[in-house]
Amino acid sequence: MYPTITNSNYSFSKENEPAATVPSGTTVKFSATDAFGGQITRQNAKDGLKNFDWNRVNPAAGPLKVEGAQPGDVLKVEILDIQITGDTAVLMTGNALGVCKEFFDDNHIRVVDIADGCVVFSPEIKLPIRPMVGVIGVAPAAEAVNNGTPGEHGGNMDCKEITAGSTLYLPVNVEGALLSIGDAHAAMADGESSGTGAEAPADILVKVEVLKNCPWPTPLIENDTHYMPLASALTADEAIDNAVLKGVGFLMNTQGMTRFDAITLISLAADVRICQVVDPLKTARLNIQKSLLKQN
């Protein structure tokens, strides 16, 4: 049995009491409700959001304190498994959410089935589930950041590449790092254009490890084929620029490239991708192919 975290919080804050404390190298299960705190069910969905408590939006399970993690370190979070634990998912968009805001006069929700490994969008359209977590991060050094907002600490990055088999590198800003995870999606495309993915509860199994003197930019995703620095900013333009600049620094630091070589190689071979365009800050990533790099 792995240590299991079920406590929820609504901000990344150094003031949050740890739900558990573990040594570096431990595998931990984060048991997270969906982004609505489980408030929307098939039964009550027909009533709309009449009794909906907006204070219970975007909970994250945690925080996990990792022994030995000190400011300046990097926390390596290997996503070993994401199991969607419900048999439905919630879709939402509305007048305050997503790219079609101006066309809606209210919020609209739909509860869809998850069956046979698919999100059943309609009888004709079934999407194979691809579980990912939208909210994953650590406590910032200074003021708390609500779970709806992404940033250098991670948080609500809504990046579909944060999925089983990938590893996320986060900065350690406070002693113990204070990792929290939530906002699982059974499926989500780059952009998250409606403002939500297929929102569902999940058990997320991760292995945490403290890295000393790690020169990598954060947040950074690694999977079998790519390194992907992430950046969040007020506009997608700025987020893209910052993700590319992190990629330039990454190639200079780890490959010994000049700035000219780094930016021109990125220009030829590293795709800029949007993670999401619907949160208070927008998130972009740069997909750097490992096959281009010297092996360590």
- Look at phi and psi of residue 89 and say left if phi exceeds 0, alpha if psi is from -120 to 50, else beta: beta
85 class by beta-carbon count within 10 Å (0-12 exposed, 13-18 middle, 19+ buried): middle
Taking CB under 5 A as the binding criterion, the range among 12-20, 43-51, 102-110, 176-184 that sits at the site for Ca ion is 176-184
Taking CB under 5 A as the binding criterion, the range among 20-28, 149-157, 201-209, 262-270 that sits at the site for Ca ion is 149-157
Binding mask 6-45 for Ca ion (x = CB under 5 A): -----------------------------x----------
Taking CB under 5 A as the binding criterion, the range among 84-92, 93-101, 132-140, 174-182 that sits at the site for Ca ion is 132-140
151 contacts Ca ion (rule: CB under 5 A) = no
Q: Measuring CA to CA, which residue among 64, 289, 287 is closest to residue 161?
A: 287
Q: Whose Cβ is closer to Ca ion: residue 158's or residue 203's?
A: 158
Cβ 91 to Ca ion, closest distance in Å?
10
Q: Which DSSP string do the residues of 122-172 spell out, in sequence order? A: SSS-EEE---EEEEEE---SSS-EETT-EETTEEE---TT-BTT-EEEEE-
Give yes or no for a contact between 90 and 34, defined as CB atoms under 8 angstroms apart. yes
CA distances from 27 to 66, 130, 192 (A): 11, 22, 29
Q: Whose Cβ is closer to Ca ion: residue 39's or residue 254's?
A: 39
Give yes or no for a contact between 251 and 292, defined as CB atoms under 8 angstroms apart. no
Residue nearest to Ca ion (CB): 134
SS3 257: coil
Q: Whose Cβ is closer to Ca ion: residue 53's or residue 269's?
A: 53
Of 89-128, binders to Ca ion (CB under 5 A) are: none
Binding-site size for Ca ion (CB under 5 A) equals: 5
Q: Whose Cβ is closer to Ca ion: residue 111's or residue 270's?
A: 111
How many CB atoms neighbour CB 46 within 10 A?
8
Among 73, 183, 209, 222, binds Ca ion (CB under 5 A): 183
134 contacts Ca ion (rule: CB under 5 A) = yes
Binding mask 40-69 for Ca ion (x = CB under 5 A): ------------------------------
Of 225-254, binders to Ca ion (CB under 5 A) are: none
Cβ 263 to Ca ion, closest distance in Å?
31
| Amino acid present at 260 | F
Q: Whose Cβ is closer to Ca ion: residue 5's or residue 60's?
A: 60
Task: Give yes or no for a cis peptide into 63 (omega within 30° of 0).
Answer: yes
| Amino acid present at 219 | P
Among 7, 9, 149, 156, binds Ca ion (CB under 5 A): 156
Q: Whose Cβ is closer to Ca ion: residue 239's or residue 248's?
A: 239
Cβ 9 to Ca ion, closest distance in Å?
15
Cβ neighbors of 108 (< 8 A, separation 6 or more) are 92, 93, 94
Among 73, 158, 203, 209, binds Ca ion (CB under 5 A): 158
Q: How far apart are CA 227 and CA 180, in angstroms?
A: 22
Q: Whose Cβ is closer to Ca ion: residue 36's or residue 227's?
A: 36
Q: Measuring CA to CA, which residue among 61, 52, 121 is closest to residue 90?
A: 121
Positions that interact with Ca ion (CB under 5 A)? 35, 134, 156, 158, 183
